[in-house]
Amino acid sequence: MSSTSRARLGEEVWKLRTDKINAELVTLTYGSVVAQLCKDLDGDYAEVNKQLDKMGYNIGLRLIEDFLAKSNMQQKCANFRDTADVISKVGFKMFLNITPTIVNWSSDNKQFSLLFDENPLADFVELPDDGKAQSDLWYSNMLCGVIRGALEMVQMSVDAHFVSDVLRGNDTTEMRINLIRYIEDEMPQDDE
Amino acid sequence: MAGSSTSYYFVIIGTKDNPLYEAEFGSFKQGGDGIPKFREEQRHMNQFIAHSSLDCIEDQQWASKEMYLKTVDKFNNTWVSCFLTGGNIKFLLVHDTRSDEPIRQFFADVYDLYCKTLMNPFYEVNMAIRSQTFDQKIKAAAKKYL
């Protein structure tokens, strides 16, 4: 499947097979989750990032099935570059109606970055000016967890994390995704 | 004319009559430089004038369907214009010349900016607005209309 036909597929699924929801509702819902976490965890932003990632992971585990059902992808991705393309053009398109740009491939084709030109989760958001949030909080960290969870269900163990965010005053919002390994069929641990 | 140009004092009042944001600016019209020309003793008077107009607003707010109440109070040569949001947040502008239309446009922009601030999940109703972006945008709106 070529890159353009993937873009078309993403467009099609978004138009025909996706229930739309008001953008502000999403933004405010996500925002209140993050704000509440910050309050509950007393401004321990490292922990907030971790919790967001965990929530995302749990979403990813389920979302992948929905993704496969709706996109009806017959072919397996031949390599990690294909996977990246599908994540951006079909996955993000389908769920958030955005297509992050894929850049900065490492020479071994195991690492790439997603550049978010727009981020529906972060509309209206200004990080608290407590001197810590700007440097410690990754506001949209749930997305990392979603990708990690989703890819794990299709036999890819990855590490995903943000390296920059416009909310922090950076020029771009960039997420780094690193393929750790393909998970081979293996016996579950502690399975006698 | 430049020396005697209009000055403005702008304040946002929360639902508990608490100030959320305040700013002063001068007129850019008629060759004004945008720098407020309040005399030192006038500056704290502005706060009193704005505060004392709150009672007048309470009297008038149910008489009008509009959010923009125009001038609600007058003290010597100073007028107070008010815009009341649906959530009972008051935008007050203390000014020394009457001009309803530009102030209406200014308030409309402020209302827009205020809504966006309220959409920020880290901001809560009645919290002081410390955002620098907000401040800059308010001043840009003032430059545009006042």
User: Looking at chain A, how many residues does it have?
Assistant: 192
Show which of residues 79-118 on chain B sit within 8 Å of chain A, judged by CB atoms. Answer: 116
Show which of residues 112-131 on chain B sit within 8 Å of chain A, judged by CB atoms. Answer: 116, 119-123, 130-131
Instruction: For residue B68, give the nearest of B109, B115, B27, B36 by alpha carbon.
Output: B109
CB contact under 8 A, B121 and A35: yes
Q: Look up residue A81 and give its two tokens.
A: 């570059």
Spatial separation of the C-alpha atoms in residues A64 and B43, rounded to whole Å: 61
Q: Is the pLDDT of residue B18 over 50?
A: yes
The pLDDT confidence band at residue A131, using thresholds 50, 70 and 90, is confident
- Which of A22, A124, A137, A139 best tests the B interface by mutation, with the highest count of B CBs <10 A? A124
- Chain B residue with minimal CA distance to A128? B122
Q: Look up residue A183 and give its two tokens.
A: 């998970």
Q: Is the pLDDT of residue B4 over 70?
A: no
- Chain B residue with minimal CA distance to A38? B122
Residue-level pLDDT at B37: 82
Q: Which residue has the higher pLDDT, A149 or B96?
A: A149
Q: Is the pLDDT of residue A125 over 90?
A: yes
Q: Given CA atoms B126, B113, B118, A123 in this order, what sign does their dihedral have?
A: negative
Who contacts B115 (Cβ-Cβ below 8 Å, separation ≥6)?
A: none
Cβ-Cβ contacts under 8 Å, A31 against chain B:
119-122
Instruction: For residue B61, give the nearest of B21, B53, B95 by alpha carbon.
Output: B53
Task: Tell me the backbone φ, ψ of residue B41, rounded to 5 degrees.
Answer: -75, -20
| Interval B63-92 mean pLDDT | 90
Residue-level pLDDT at B134: 93
- Chain B residue with minimal CA distance to A126? B120
CB contact under 8 A, A124 and B122: no
| Domain locations in chain B as residue ranges | 2-145
A188-192, B16-20, B59-63, B109-113 — which is least confidently predicted? A188-192
Q: Is the pLDDT of residue B47 over 70?
A: yes
CB contact under 8 A, B122 and A35: yes
Say yes or no: A125 contacts chain B, CB-CB below 8 A: yes
Nearest-Cα distance to chain B for A133, in Å, is 11
Helix, coil or strand: residue A174:
strand
For residue range A79-113, what is the model confidence (pLDDT) as tens digits?
999 999 999 999 999 999 999 999 999 999 999 99
Q: CATH for B2-145, among 3.40.50.620, 3.50.50.100, 3.30.450.70, 3.30.465.10?
A: 3.30.450.70
A128-132, A157-161, B15-19 — which is least confidently predicted? A128-132
Q: What is the DSSP letter of A101?
A: E
Residue ranges and CATH numbers for the domains of chain A are 3-182 (3.30.1380.20)
Spatial separation of the C-alpha atoms in residues B74 and B53, rounded to whole Å: 8
ipTM: 0.80
Cα B12 to chain centroid distance, Å, stands at: 6
Q: Given CA atoms A54, A56, A57, A58 in this order, what sign does their dihedral have?
A: positive
Q: Which residue has the higher pLDDT, B134 or B5?
A: B134
Average pLDDT value for chain B: 88
For residue range A13-65, what is the model confidence (pLDDT) as tens digits?
998 888 899 999 999 999 999 999 999 999 899 999 999 999 999 999 999 99
Spatial separation of the C-alpha atoms in residues B129 and B114, rounded to whole Å: 9
User: In sequence order, which ranges of chain A are alpha helices (DSSP H)?
Assistant: 3-16, 23-40, 45-71, 80-86, 93-96, 133-136, 142-153
Say yes or no: A27 contacts chain B, CB-CB below 8 A: yes
The pLDDT confidence band at residue A191, using thresholds 50, 70 and 90, is low
CB contact under 8 A, A27 and B119: yes
